[in-house]
Structure 1
Amino acid sequence: MAKNAIKQDEFLKHRSKFEIIMRLANYMKPFKLSVFTITVFMIFVMAINLLNPYLLKVAIDKYIKANDIYGLLKIGMIMIGLNFFALIISKLRVTMMGKMTNRIVVNIRRELYSHIQKLSFSFFDDRPVGKILARVIGDVKSLEQFFSNSVKQFIPEILRIVFVTIIMFSMNFKLALVSISILPLLFIGLFTIEILSRKRWDLFRKKKSNLNAYTHENFSGIRVVQSFVAEEKAINSYNNFVDEMTNSFIKAVKLQDLFWGMVQLSWGLGMVIVYFYSVKMIDEKSITIGTLVAFTWYISMFWRPIMNIANFYNTLVTSFSAADRIFEILEIEPNIKDYSTNKMKKINGEVEFKNVSFEYETGIPVLHKVNFKVNAGEVIALVGPTGAGKTTIINLLSRFYDVTSGKILVDGVDIKTVELESFRSQMGIMLQDTFLFSESIKENIKYGKLNATDEEIIKVAKIVGIHDYIMSLEKGYDTNVNERGTRLSVGQRQLISLARALLADPKILILDEATSNIDTHTEKLVQEGIKKLLKNRTSFVIAHRLSTIRDADRIMYIDKGKIVESGTHDELIEKRGYYYNLYMSQFEFIAKGV
């Protein structure tokens, strides 16, 4: 069971705002030229916007006052020409911005996806799939506005404020000082709101992740839901998750909306103060009407970027939570990783477990000092009650998990001391949980050997007895099996999975309940194929149907994480121990059924 259950809010480590911003900014480094070009375009457009009030001042104080129609038309044409050119530049800027932002987001999603591919099974054991999807899709998508606004708003608006402030102070120092006197109060208010807002956006993303996890799980198990007529229960649960997410979103938005109110209030108070002082200054003839009109325009140009920066800051606050969730996964190191660059040589197939103990969770042992040695080419059957540790043994041999203590040797080499890919590529594995991708039958079998020819694929399909069925389908090997192989029966899925494992032509073959859901007739065909393929291969077979493992070179009975019996079928029957009791009880059950 996942430690982080669907209803449980995820625990996240909060990084500092500076750390998050710097890490996000690193994703923009490959696009320095684009950022520079966009910034130049913005500065050009901004310069024209800053020039407009000054041209208006000249028009009022010089041409309108002197009743110079020709001069007024000339300055009007200049303004129209400059602003039309600025419009074209703005269009180019928006197009470049869209392309750059999309590429950055794609790069983050690719990095996150690639990293998750390398993470160990323990990562997936601890998290519902839906919550992982929420980070790869939703959280990455939410960063799009951050990258867009950081170039589109933050950089140019900072420059705009600087230039406007310089112009205002050069025009009239006292009036400029009065117009910005309200800023300290605004910054205190915004900082307070940001602290509270981040917590609320964190909660919203957690609730959204819970909803995503529940939806994914419910759709994956829709056959169970409908079989037990539990649709109403599922809908009620879904509505509860939606309500939790909606309520957390409303609380976050209500607080976020205070940003706008505080900026607009500050803007309004600033304008009132400026008009109050300017009336007196006009009476004293220390400023002209044109200067006041131009100054009022500049005040609007001063507060508008503050409004946009507040909007960017708002976006930034909502992005903090998404960034935290993304960086948390990127910082997770795989438990199973290469400790050496040494390649595994061609495997002969000798396997040895030396005092191997293992715990999935600290303090809860699953295997206790397991010792055994298998010669190359031997067929080993693992039997025993559910939860005894059979699958754990093959998971450790496949190095899906690392041993808690002890060593696993293949041809005398500790498997932790060789490159993982070079080791696994020489193994064929068919796990108990048969999984097929929503691709064609050919592509699913081809996972065993990505460069396999059609002839090789058909050969293994014939050996496991699935070829005739495949050819009876309308598109044959090109038939799509649907998600998780739902178009096929359980037995057919297992046969395709078996073909996939055999295509790898491994020196070590692992079959976990490979024939558990195949009918008796098909089982006989499969067993014949398996016998041929087990030759010259070290094989580990887990089977509850004991009739399928009678010919194994050795049968090991696993109970409570220990090997309590080991020997051939005849030896263990003669011993009349655990295996004998299991064997007799199984055939008693079959006899009664008959």
Structure 2
Amino acid sequence: MSQDKITGKTYDVNLLRRMSRYMRPYHVTFWISVVLTILLAAVAPALPMLIQHTLDNYILNFDTAGLSYMLMAMLALVVVQTLIRYYHTLMTNTLGQSVIRDIRIQVFNHIVQLRLKYFDRTALGKLITRTISDLETLSNIFSEGLIQIIGDLLQLAVILGVMFYSDWKLTLIVLIPMPLMIAATYVFKEAMKAAFIDVRKWVSNLNTFLQEHITGVGIIQYFAREKQEMDKFKEINAQHRNAHIRTNWYFSIFFPVLEIIMAISLGLLVWFGAKQIMGDVISPGVVVAFIMYINMIFRPIRELIDKFNTLQMGMVSAERIFEVLDTNEMTPNLGTLKPGHIKGEITFKHVWFAYNDESWVLRDVNFSVQPGETLALVGATGAGKSSTINILSRFYEINKGEILLDGANIREYDLDYLRNTIATVLQDVFLFSDTVINNITLGDPSISREQVIEAAKEVGAHDFIMRLPGGYDYDVKERGATLSAGQAQLISFIRALVHDPRILILDEATSSVDTETEEMIQSAIDNLMRGRTSIVIAHRLSTIQKADKIIVLDKGEIKEIGTHQELLSFEGYYKKLYDLQFHSAGI
């Protein structure tokens, strides 16, 4: 659903019904909130009634003893109302935050299971907005929206009922300006709906811009683009400000209009009520009570407008959140195969693959890798090397052909089992803002510290880790900013080793380090690959000369297959790449 398709309906029954499902685990809190709402509405007219009774029966009769009792009764009533309101606010906010916690967990769980293809076309800032900002807005539906609206409507109904019971003629006089208020409310509601949709759009755009530019701040500084990017930010920020100003402008017009309508109602009350008092038709206490009733009518009406706006904003946010939850782009777990042992035989049979179903990235690819062998993929940028390993782990689905693992189609395997069988070490190592050991185990409780230390020693990383402050408990900060590229790469090797995969993928794992560092970690790579089926992607042909099989890809097609020496003897694509690299290096 695109942004312009979001309706922002104030009363979307389907959305409300869907949101109500999240309240079921908290039905006790919900019903306590409802009972307290009813109690607040029931006691609302009690104070004006007490004041009317006190004025007519005690003040006008100079009964000081009775007046004292009535003052004590009023104080007790105020205390009771305060306690009910306190627990009502506590319950509704507890309900709202509990529901939002559950929805946020569901949204996050859903997002992390989406296919990589979804993230290729979706800005991360928009997803962050859905998970944080939109959910905060949605929480107001539960804490300040639905139940509060019900409470205000009940209070309005109770007060109007008491007013008609007290004096129906006076009530009708008071309600004469009401059609003006209904018309003003409708115009205001329609204007605010468009304004709120605009606000949410610019909040999303602002988050997207900030996320991208804070992540890419290095590029901005490298190319001295600070001023130009600041100008772009100022424009987006100005649009965000203008959207908020429009909402405030509508409020600044609407509420004075309400005050004018309330003043008209009050004027009519005083005019007609004074005539009734002078004609000895009603007592002064009735007029005083009606003055309070007018305030109590218009206050819930004003609050209802606020609550409807809250509900409307929540509806806009709900549509956007459920748009994410309804995104059915998760990799289907089609199979249940979980063999006790994987040998690691990989076979590609007539595999065709395209990211957008228009331009083929892989064309009729056929090859096989025997258990324990090392396969190297080489070729120019865009040849299809990374795509080959992405489809092996089913991050993307192939269009035609089949991929076999130990003779079974990879779609027959349980998805988690398949991905746990394959470990990938990428060129751009991603480390979380966490300790070294947590970045290695990824929170897997089945991996002990002893296993981590043993794996670190095996890849030659134990010594450098122990030199860090805190050793394995050292916080590497966001994206491993406090580590060198070589150190981060070694941690990624340990991560792969402790998960004990049967298939290892190295996606240009040494291209981001210098030659000296590459030589240092080459032994770690050799240890990592020992006894495992390995697929290596490398631009540096010097790193793959020991591979059992090398495949040369060009524009998604296999041009050559063979060992290093065999490919050199072909005098083809590989020989040209080899000569180009080694001649340019002066060898």
Q: Tell me the TM-score range normalised by the shorter chain.
A: over 0.9
1:298 equivalent in structure 2? 293
Partner of 1:457: 452
Does residue 118 in structure 1 map to residue 107 in structure 2? Answer: no
The aligned runs of 1:208-357 (5 Å cut-off) are 208-343=203-338, 346-357=341-352
1:2-60 deviation per Cα after TM superposition (whole angstroms, max 9, x unaligned): xx9xxxx9555436431333333333332222232233334334433311111222222
The answer to whether the 8 A contact 1:344-1:423 is kept is: no
With 551-560 and 258-267 compared, the bigger mean Cα shift is at 258-267
Letter in 1 for 2:260: L
Spell out, residue by residue over 1:372-420, the C-alpha distance to the aligned partner (whole angstroms, 9 max, x if none).
2222222110000001110000000011111122222212222223321
Match of 1:557 in 2: 552
In structure 1, what residue type is equivalent to 2:576? Answer: N
Cα-to-partner distance string for 1:106-156 (whole Å, 9 max, x where unaligned): 222222112111111122211222222122111111223322213662122
Deviations 1:251-279 (A, max 9, x none): 23222444423433332232233333334
Cα offset, 1:577, TM superposition: 0.6
Give me the whole-angstrom Cα distance separating, in 2, the residues matched to 1:13 and 1:52.
Answer: 44
Once the two structures are overlaid, the 10-residue window that deviates more, 170-179 or 569-578, is 170-179
Corresponding position: 1:206 with 2:201: yes
CA offsets, 1:302-333, max 9 Å, x none? Answer: 22211111110121222232222211111112
Q: CA deviation at 1:476?
A: 2.0
Question: TM-score scaled to structure 1, two decimals?
Answer: 0.92
Say whether 1:32 aligns with 2:27.
Answer: yes
Aligned match of 1:470: 465
For residue 455 of structure 1, report the CA deviation from its aligned partner.
Answer: 2.8
Structure 2: distance between partners of 1:320 and 1:151 = 11
Moved more, 227-236 or 347-356: 227-236
Question: Secondary structure in 2 aligned to 1:148?
Answer: helix
1:73 to 2:64 alignment: no
Percent of counterpart pairs with the same letter? 36
List aligned pairs for 1:38-77, cutoff 5 A.
38-77=33-72
CA contact (8 A) 1:263 1:306 kept: no
CA distance in 1, matches of 2:356, 2:443: 31
Alpha carbons 2:269, 2:287 under 8 Å: kept: no
Aligned to 2:357: 362
CA distance in 1 between counterparts of 2:552 and 2:476 reads: 36
TM-superposed CA distance for 1:283, in Å, is 4.1
Could you tell me whether the CA contact under 8 Å between 2:425 and 2:509 is conserved in 1?
Answer: yes
Residue equivalent to 1:194: 189
CA positional deviation for 1:529: 3.5
Name the counterpart of 1:545: 540
Distance 1:21 1:192, change over 3 A: farther
The offset of 1:359, in angstroms, is 1.7
Number of residues of Structure 1 aligned to a counterpart in Structure 2: 585
Deviations 1:496-528 (A, max 9, x none): 112211221111111101122334344334333
Change (3 A) 1:65 1:472: closer
Give the direction of change, closer, same or farther, for the CA distance of 1:54–1:528 in structure 2 (3 Å limit). Answer: closer
**Aligned equivalent of 2:377:** 382
Mapped partners of 2:236, 2:152: distance in 1: 40
Q: 1:54 to 1:454 in 2, by over 3 A?
A: closer
Distance in 2, matches of 1:300 and 1:448, equals 58
CA separation of 1:509 and 1:95: change in aligned 2, threshold 3 A:
same
Q: Is the 8 A contact 2:92 2:143 kept in 1?
A: yes
Instruction: Tell me if the contact between 2:453 and 2:462 (Cα under 8 Å) persists in the aligned partners.
Output: yes
More deviation, 133-142/473-482? 473-482
Establish whether residue 527 from structure 1 lines up as the match of residue 522 from structure 2.
Answer: yes
SS of 1:552's partner is: coil
Give the drift of 1:246.
0.7
Question: Which segment drifts farther, 340-349 or 583-592?
Answer: 340-349
The CA deviation at 1:77 is 1.7
Match status 1:433 vs 2:444: no
1:269 and 1:32 map into 2 onto residues whose CA distance is 43
SS in 1 for 2:45: helix
Q: 1:244 to 1:411 in 2, by over 3 A?
A: same
What SS is found at the alignment partner of 2:361? Answer: strand
Deviates more, 1:111-120 or 1:27-36: 27-36
Residue 180 of structure 1, aligned match among 175, 181, 204: 175
Deviations 1:316-355 (CA, angstroms, capped at 9, x unpaired): 2222322222111111123412124444553221112222
- Secondary structure class of the residue paired with 2:293: helix
Residue in structure 2 matching 1:106, options 101, 106, 114:
101
8 Å Cα contact 1:390-1:558 kept in structure 2: yes
Which range moved further: 456-465 or 351-360? 456-465
Q: Distance in 2 between matches of 1:206 and 1:178?
A: 44
Question: For residues 372 and 443 of structure 2, what CA distance do their matches in structure 1 show?
Answer: 20
Residue 14 (structure 1) aligns with: 7
| In 2: Cα distance, 1:268 partner to 1:258 partner | 16
Partner of 1:142: 137
Q: Secondary structure at the match of 2:371?
A: coil
**One-letter amino acid of the structure 2 residue matched with residue 290 of structure 1:** G
Per the alignment, in what secondary structure is the counterpart of residue 250 of structure 2?
Answer: helix
Secondary structure of 2:362's counterpart equals strand
Q: 2 CA distance for matches of 1:63 and 1:105?
A: 52
The residue identity in structure 2 corresponding to 1:432 is: Q
Task: Could you tell me which runs of 5 or more consecutive residues in structure 1 were left unpaired when the two chains were aligned.
Answer: none
Q: CA deviation at 1:202?
A: 1.5
Q: Structure 1's 186 and 343: CA in aligned 2 closer, same or farther, altered over 3 A? A: farther
* Deviation of the 1:358 alpha carbon: 1.6
Aligned residue among 397, 401, 414 for 1:406:
401
Aligned CA RMSD, in angstroms, stands at 2.3
Secondary structure, counterpart of 1:360 in structure 2: coil
Q: What amino acid is aligned across from residue 543 of structure 2 in structure 1?
A: T
Which deviates more from structure 2 when the two are superposed, residues 171-180 or residues 550-559? Answer: 171-180
With structure 2 as the length reference, what TM-score do the two structures score?
0.93
Distance 1:314 1:532 in 2: 62
The counterpart of 1:93, out of the listed 88, 93, 111, is 88
1:152-171 superposed matches below 5 A: 153-171=148-166
Deviation at 1:543? 0.6
Cα distance in 2 for partners of 1:496, 1:213 equals 30
| Residue from 531, 535, 544 that aligns with 1:536 | 531
